Amino acid sequence: MTFDYHPNEQKQANFIADICVKIGNEMGGERVDRRAAPTRYSIVPYQSTHNTGGSALGTDPKTSVVNRYLQSWDVPNVFVTGACVFPQNAGKNPTGPVGALAHWMADAIINQYLKSPGPLVQA
């Protein structure tokens, strides 16, 4: 699997990298390195990646797969958890946010859905 980064994604990466360099220099770092923005990424040399996306969470069923409670817009008794619900990839270790979202979803299922099965968010 490969990822081809588009110009706007490269601009975002450069923006953040410049801020990180500034922070490193202000902290008195003896060596502050800056890498170029990625253009292409392959998982072949590093196969323990954190791929995300595919079932994006959002506020509009026309542009997302699940609502804020990770409930399918199309089938209300289907809930989806995992990094697949992220509409973008933060780039690093999604385990914490995935755990928080799983807790959020479980709470909604127990305290809302089971009491009144059906859509938790009206489209």
Mind telling me the catalytic residues? 50
All residues at 6 or more sequence positions from 104 whose CB lies less than 8 Å from its CB, including other chains: 69, 70
Task: Strands of 1-123 (E only): list them.
Answer: 2-4, 40-42
Beta-bridged to residue 2, according to DSSP, are 42
CB 24 within 8 A of CB 35: no
Q: Phi then psi for 105, rounded to 5 degrees?
A: -65, -45
Which of 86, 66, 87, 68 shows the shortest CA–CA distance to 78? 66
